[in-house]
Structure 1
């Protein structure tokens, strides 16, 4: 999957919206310790950057060197290029020692993972049994919470963001027209109907988190 981002890593980093601050406040309200967070499939570091303002240290792991090249660089974030299938020995060498991680996050990357293998890695850090028990959502909404990103984007920025999606690139490389240029052109005409060059684009996020002990 790393090769999917060679062509569009820069565009993805420039156009992907950041996550809302309240999302991370909610997540970290469920943790006791804020020493070390592991952001898996960190991409260009949007989640890692937000976590760095809360946690003492953040480790972002990624299989694409191009994604890391354009990732947000901050003093307490360490990025590691890893293989898609890390052994426990590699995990300890590249991420952290056993039982030292306070939070594990995945932002729009879990569909790439070998989940049984990933769960075993997280168990090594947190002694968690999967599927884990979900924690209560915000304002008693249950285990799922909805957060919304708002970003002002111009027309070309929005379409560059669409074209940077790994799913779009995968389909294009396979000759499947997931979202054709004709469809984009229809979006373009609709965008310009009101004569505006920039719009506030809303991106919903649905969150489910689980907790065991003091770790999530």
Structure 2
């Protein structure tokens, strides 16, 4: 089963409105990588993680199924972007010190991907996988967002999506020295920004293709009223796991 591409059609929205990841995550991860020669950011999207890795590694390879997403990625002299499936890449064996996957693992063929990771990592190399759960806004807005996510949008999510809710617990991780960690991404967003973030959801895109109208409009008025004027704090819970090749 190939990796699924659910983000090409909203690549520009994705690049603008999706979150990046906290410095604390990299501060936890990077000191545990024994060498900093080469890293592979798998399913890089618009290159958010690859750009951070480029500050710490001599060379970063960044791949994604979506050429539309890759077109949004800023160029760096030591980052090479190319389209590739996660499960089958053009790289040689024992090539990478670090392999990262951010908010994409649930779309993969896990058996094939783990085999590719074992092929590509150097002995002692690190694989790190992370994602983030449903955004938290506050007690007056969380029920509305939860109902939109798990109720209105439920028929339009791929089943793979629910691996996010249980923090990849059902996805195999056949590596040694496994560690887990949690972080938080905190932002100040306006209601308009938040509504545009919702439009990056793959379920929203699928709904719109099927029905011909934007489902975010179903909650936009009530959400904007509850949100109030200006910006308010929001939080994304981030979960991560790390392991090594023997």
Q: Tell me if TM exceeds 0.5.
A: yes
- The residue aligned with 2:118 is 123
* TM-score normalised by structure 2 residue count: 0.71
* TM-score normalised by structure 1 residue count: 0.80
CA–CA distance in 2 between the matches of 1:212 and 1:187? 46
CA–CA distance in 2 between the matches of 1:68 and 1:131? 29
The Cα offsets for residues 104-156 of structure 1, whole Å up to 9 and x where unpaired, read as 11100011101111111111113699522343xxxxxxx33111112232221
1:58-97 pair list within 5 angstroms: 58-83=60-85, 86=88, 91-92=89-90, 96-97=91-92
Q: Which has the higher strand share?
A: 2
SS of 1:39's partner is strand
Matched, 1:6 2:8: yes
Rate the CA distance shift 1:183–1:39 in 2: closer, same or farther, 3 A. Answer: same
- The residue aligned with 1:139 is none
2:234 to 183, 201, 207: 201
- The residue aligned with 2:144 is none
- The residue aligned with 2:132 is none
Matched, 1:102 2:97: yes
2:176 to 133, 138, 150: 133
The answer as to whether partners of 1:134 and 1:208 remain within 8 angstroms in 2 is: no
CA–CA distance in 2 between the matches of 1:64 and 1:160? 21
1:54 to 53, 56, 62: 56
Structure 1: gaps of 5 or more residues: 136-142
CA–CA distance in 2 between the matches of 1:84 and 1:121? 8
CA–CA distance in 1 between the matches of 2:243 and 2:203? 27
| Bigger Cα displacement from structure 2, 75-84 vs 33-42 | 75-84
